[in-house]
Amino acid sequence: MSTTESPAAGVGPVEGAPLFDVDNPAPLIEAPRKRTKKTPRSTRGNFEMAAWLFMRLSGVVLVVLVLGHLLIQLVLDGGVSKIGFAFVAGRWASPFWQVWDLLMLWLAMLHGANGLRTIINDYAERANTRLWLKGLLYTATVFTILLGSLVIFTFDPNIR
């Protein structure tokens, strides 16, 4: 066993600190996940954290939007029996309900898509399966959001 200053295998010099010190007779070992100048920039970003936060923020808004929607469509004024083209035309005559429905469409679709993305990641074990399921999910989500937005923006009460 040599007692020279050559470090043991696996012990690298800590940036800005000598290997040995008066107060640290034993060599300093870099904390495994410590960020240093040599650490490559993170390649992942904070997407998962943003997605987690989005689920909670959109969830709170959706509680109001969706429960209000259910109250209007299924409970008040005769419940489901009054729903028809005339009822839709009456509500979408107001920009307030157009914005309500548009916001509900976007938030609900993105909230649901992110939820299903999580479920696919959890249960689909093969990378290829995940790829195809998520491809299908994103295609269906984009299609549905675009279709719904188009319907709200181009609705014509005098279509016939």
Partner 1 sequence: MPAGTLYRGREGMWSWVAHRVTGVLIFFFLFVHVLDTALVRVSPEDYDKVVATYKTPIVALLEYGLVAAILFHALNGLRVIAVDFWSKGPRYQKQMLWTVVGVWVVLMAGAVYPVLGHAARVLFGS
Give residues in contact with partner 1 (CB under 8 A): 56, 59-60, 62-63, 66-67, 70, 74-75, 78-81, 83-86, 88-89, 105, 108-109, 112-113, 115-116, 119, 140, 144, 147-148, 150-151, 154-156, 159-160
Backbone angles phi, psi at 23, to 5 degrees: -85, -15
Question: Do 152 and 92 touch, CB atoms closer than 8 A?
Answer: yes
How far is Cα 6 from Cα 16, in angstroms, rounded to an integer?
17
Residue length of the chain:
160
How far is Cα 154 from Cα 156, in angstroms, rounded to an integer?
6
> At its nearest, how many Å lie between partner 1 and the CB of residue 48?
14
Residue with Cβ nearer partner 1 (30 or 73): 73
Residue with Cβ nearer partner 1 (9 or 80): 80
How far is Cα 78 from Cα 88, in angstroms, rounded to an integer?
15
How far is Cα 68 from Cα 62, in angstroms, rounded to an integer?
9
Residue with Cβ nearer partner 1 (11 or 61): 61
> At its nearest, how many Å lie between partner 1 and the CB of residue 138?
13
Residue with Cβ nearer partner 1 (29 or 63): 63
> At its nearest, how many Å lie between partner 1 and the CB of residue 75?
4
How far is Cα 52 from Cα 115, in angstroms, rounded to an integer?
10
